[in-house]
Amino acid sequence: MTYSFDFASVFRNLGPLWDGLLVTIQLTVAANAIGLTLGFALALLVMSRWAAIRLPVMLFIEFFRCTPAIIQIVWFFYCVPMLFNVFLGSVTMGILALGLNLAAFNAEAYRASIQAVPREQLDAGVALGLGPFQRILHIVLPSAVRNSVPVLLTNGIGTFQQSALVAIVAVQDLMYQGKTLATQTYRPIETFTVVALVYFAVSFPVSQVVGYLERRREALAS
């Protein structure tokens, strides 16, 4: 290979990359805020005993889970302004698209862990004389939330990675800045490698934490 590396061109342009990373983090944090709260609400709705509530919510969740994130984002950017005649800032649009996507995935995580609370636990609650509301508040929720933490973290960091997709609709995130820089400096290898490493540097520690939490839970369960 005859390519001569020149990482200096990347380091001369850390400013835009830094700005991009801030946008990426902003997208991630805000989308997670939506995902964690809306996801929980969706999980409760999807377990409703009324089909009129359950089915539309289920459809919403499945639609986000079963289509590519990129088409959700493109659809959002092109279609929402036309349909509703509004245009929010591009970052806001990105947050909404990513947030709804994450909410769908988190809803599944919440639902699975709520349904994983063993029946005996509820029986014990009845035996101890707790009312239905108390059983949910003191038995179901604490253990469901605790059980869903690893998946929520994984989904959250997934959204951090997915957020790179908004570069396609020209939101100036880390990926977008990297793409621009690569074209301007003719240094794609150095630029995309640095961009990849930045994403990795954030994702990897979180996935290690998830691994630790899961190992600890396995150890506690056995």
Partner 1 sequence: MTLDFAIVVKYQDALLLGLWMTLKLTLICILFGCVLGFLLALARTSSNVVLRGVSSVYVEFFRGTPVLVQLFWIFFCLPLVLGIELSNLASGVIALTLYMGAISSETFRAALKAVGREQMDACVALGLSPFARTTSVVLPQAVLRAAPTLLSNCVSLFKESALVSAVGMADLMFVGQNISNNTARPIEVLTVVALIYFAIAFPLTRAVTVMEGCILKKLAI
Q: Could you list the residues that contact partner 1 (CB under 8 A)?
A: 1-3, 62-63, 65-72, 74-75, 78-79, 82-83, 161-165, 167-168, 175, 178-179, 182, 188-189, 192-193, 195-196, 199-200, 203-204, 207
From the list 153, 144, 149, the residue with the least C-alpha distance to 114 is 144
CA 24 → CA 30, 71, 157, 159, distances in Å? 10, 19, 12, 10
* Residue with smaller CB distance to partner 1, 15 or 68: 68
* Residue with smaller CB distance to partner 1, 53 or 158: 158
* Residue with smaller CB distance to partner 1, 69 or 109: 69
Least Å distance, CB 141 to partner 1, is 25
Least Å distance, CB 145 to partner 1, is 23
Least Å distance, CB 132 to partner 1, is 28
- Angle (deg, nearest 10), helices 14-46 and 188-221: 40
* Residue with smaller CB distance to partner 1, 63 or 138: 63
The secondary structure of 37-103 as a DSSP string is: HHHHHHHHHHT-S-HHHHHHHHHHHHHHHSS-HHHHHHHHHHHHHHHH-----HHHHHHHHHHHHHH
Residue 77 has which token pair? Answer: 């950017």
Least Å distance, CB 157 to partner 1, is 8
